Each structure stands twice: as structure tokens, then as C-alpha cells.
Amino acid sequence: MASFRVDIVNAERQLFSGDAALVIAPLREGEAGFLPGHSPLLGILKAGTLHLQDASGAEQTFYVSGGFVEVQPHHVTVLADAGERAADIDEALAAQAVEEAARHAEEQAGKVDYARAQAELAQAAARLQAVRRYRARTRSPIPEQIR
């Protein structure tokens, strides 16, 4: 299986460094998949789920809150503002954070901080979605058509 080097880092630490056969990233324009030999690209990440299939065929899932992805034919670098492995996210706490962010956004409606509250809600919801997607995918493998 062809592979390329992938490095995923957030502001605090490295989340992944190794070879992968596929990376699917949440870009502002929508999800984008990258395979070895992809043409160069610099993209802006939005809050969401980042998937990769490592060189052994195992899938790994991450939450990213935003940042950048640089794609080269033999290397992908993800610079996330914040991020974590989906396996490390406590689903109950993530669901609670979504509820709190929604409540805060409601309280801020019509006020100056409303946009920030909406952004916090979007990030909390994306984090919860990442862990739920991870849990669902660990029960079933990556679809054949993606491999």
C-alpha cells in the first residue's frame, strides 16, 4: 500500500507522526481526502473530525478545532489550533460541554458576545461529533470504496 508521511500537531504537542495511506480533513470548503502523490495544497481547517488510515490499514480519528493543513506529494502536515485523539475524548463530558455552550449562546442572543458563543457551540458540537464518529467507526471498518 502506498503511503506518505503525516504529522499532526496542536499548540501543545504532537498528536501523530507516521506513515499513512489516506487523510480526510475538515476544510472550510468541505471535507477533503488526500492520498500519496496529491498535488500541493494549503487549506484552512474548520472544527471537525480528521480521519487517517495509517500504513498498516488501521484508522485513527482526531478532533481539530481549526488551523491549517499543508499537503505535499509525500508529506501532509496538520497544524491544529487545538486537537486531540477522538479515543481520548470523554463522550459524556463532550455532550455536557455542548449543552453548556448552547445555553451560553442562548443567553448571549442579541449581545456583542453572541458570535463568540456561537463559535464555542460549533467547536463543542464538532468535538462531540468526532468522538461519536470514532465510536461508530471502531465498530465497523473503513468502507472498501475509500481504501
Which residue segments constitute the domains of the chain, with CATH numbers given?
4-87 (2.60.15.10)
Tell me the sheet residues that pair with 32.
25
User: 97-106 contacts: CB < 8 A, separation 24 or more?
Assistant: 97/124, 97/127, 97/128, 98/124, 98/125, 98/128, 100/124, 101/125
pLDDT confidence bin for 141, thresholds 50/70/90: low
Tens digits of per-residue pLDDT, 130-139? 888 888 877 6
pLDDT confidence bin for 20, thresholds 50/70/90: very high
User: 92-95 contacts: CB < 8 A, separation 24 or more?
Assistant: 94/124, 94/127, 94/128, 94/131, 95/128
Judge contact between 83 and 65, C-beta under 8 A. Answer: yes
DSSP three-state, residue 90: coil
pLDDT confidence bin for 26, thresholds 50/70/90: very high
Tens digits of per-residue pLDDT, 72-91? 999 999 999 999 998 898 88
Judge contact between 64 and 76, C-beta under 8 A. Answer: no
